[in-house]
């Protein structure tokens, strides 16, 4: 039996995706302010495979029309891209001024997509927080970022929302919290000295603090969109989470619990609050008083705060229980109490210059 596009429902959307820092280039062009990734890539090139950076990247900023022609040629229905917060607001705040060149670029990009029959799906934040906010108050570690993100989202909804019908508030917030605040291999590169090669950070608390503020920023942005824009723009808004599938490495109860806990600590970390208004029970009982708490109002804000849920899925891992008894060197990774190996039997290692093989497991499909 043939397997092709006709095998899918007529309204199934085929698309491709990108992120601003990884594709646009034009890092210092036409008023764009630096993001945390610009600074991280310059200061910590040793942590990046090939010592690459996003100064030029795919040069999508200058070549988007060529790329859109290729998208149309291969038959894409949609294109997901992220807006560079610091290209729109170089200082991270509305009060710091709007960059008209950045606004023009995204207006032109959206219009070009639509004129070629391609639906734009827009992400507001894909790892590249304005460096100005990192310098002022350590960005996601401060509650101040919630209002600044709200102002940024409001501007984007108002400016582009007449043509954008799908919004993602934050892409892979769990990945950012782990890699940026637990093991320090992504911007802003924070972690405890025992957890990675970092000059500042606290792996026991900062991943959870950053996640808490990301969730609240997501919640207020969704409420604003639903109250102010959705009735007449008729779009949808959601969150995009990265998660593999976890398979018990053995039939032992401990391995089954490790797989369950692995899902809670990665997928449930964000999916549970936006569905039920709080973190998973396993999460709360393990992290304890290091985990920030939601007020009743915040819980109500988060509950049901998505019209769709994006899942960025790449692979599966075998999970095995890893008891942790050291109360000194605490971290997100230790709290998870799960050892992961991929389907080739290789231990998962996150280190500079490391490439990982990806494998699928039958239960994931």
What are the C-alpha distances in Å from 247 to residues 123, 178, 266, 268, 361? Answer: 30, 21, 14, 16, 8
Q: Tens of pLDDT along 175-217?
A: 999 999 999 999 999 999 999 999 999 999 999 999 999 999 9
Show the domain range for 162: 10-342
Q: Tens of pLDDT along 268-324?
A: 999 999 999 999 999 999 999 999 999 999 999 999 999 999 999 998 999 999 987
* pTM for the predicted model, two decimal places: 0.94
Length of the chain (residues): 365
CA triple 18-19-21, angle to 5 deg: 135
Beta strand pairing call for 316-321 and 308-312: unpaired
- Tell me how many domains the chain contains: 1
Cβ neighbours of 47 (radius 10 Å): 20
CATH number at residue 307: 3.20.20.80
Residue 95 resides in a domain: yes
Edge-first strand listing for the sheet containing 119-125: 15-17, 78-82, 119-125, 166-171, 236-242, 308-312
Structure tokens given for 300: 């109500």
Residue 348 resides in a domain: no
Q: Tens of pLDDT along 90-131?
A: 999 999 999 999 999 999 999 999 999 999 999 999 999 999
Residue 100 resides in a domain: yes
Residue 149 resides in a domain: yes
Residue 328 resides in a domain: yes
Residue 4 resides in a domain: no
């Amino acid at each position: 039996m043939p397997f092709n596009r006709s095998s899918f429902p007529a309204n199934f959307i085929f698309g491709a995706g990108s992120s601003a820092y990884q594709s646009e280039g034009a890092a210092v062009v036409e008023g764009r302010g630096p993001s945390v990734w610009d600074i991280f890539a310059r200061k910590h090139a040793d942590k990046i495979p090939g010592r690459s950076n996003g100064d030029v990247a795919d040069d999508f900023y200058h070549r988007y029309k060529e790329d859109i022609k290729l998208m149309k040629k291969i038959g894409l229905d949609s294109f997901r891209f992220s807006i560079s917060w610091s290209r729109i607001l170089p200082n991270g705040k509305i009060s710091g001024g709007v960059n008209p060149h950045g606004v023009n670029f995204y207006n032109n990009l959206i219009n070009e997509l639509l004129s070629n029959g391609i639906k734009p799906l827009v992400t507001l934040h894909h790892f590249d927080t304005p460096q100005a906010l990192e310098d002022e108050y350590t960005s996601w570690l401060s509650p101040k970022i919630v209002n600044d993100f709200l102002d940024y989202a409001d501007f984007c909804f108002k400016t582009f929302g007449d043509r954008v019908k799908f919004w993602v508030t934050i892409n892979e917030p769990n990945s950012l919290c782990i890699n940026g605040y637990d093991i320090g291999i992504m911007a802003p590169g924070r972690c405890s000295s025992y957890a990675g090669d970092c000059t500042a950070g606290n792996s026991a608390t900062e991943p959870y603090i950053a996640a808490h503020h990301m969730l609240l920023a997501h919640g207020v942005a969704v409420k604003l969109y639903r109250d102010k824009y959705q009735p007449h723009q008729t779009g949808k808004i959601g969150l995009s989470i990265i998660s593999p599938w976890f398979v018990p490495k053995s039939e032992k109860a401990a391995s089954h619990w490790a797989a369950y806990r692995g899902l809670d600590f990665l997928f449930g970390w964000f999916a549970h609050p936006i569905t039920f208004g709080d973190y998973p029970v396993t999460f709360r009982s393990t992290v304890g008083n290091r985990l920030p708490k939601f007020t009743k109002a915040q819980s109500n804000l988060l509950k049901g705060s998505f019209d769709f849920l994006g899942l960025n899925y790449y692979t599966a891992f075998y999970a095995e229980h890893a008891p942790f008894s050291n109360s000194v060197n605490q971290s997100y990774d230790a709290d998870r109490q799960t050892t992961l190996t991929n389907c080739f039997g290789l231990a998962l290692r996150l280190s500079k210059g490391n490439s990982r093989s990806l494998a699928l497991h039958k239960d994931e499909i």
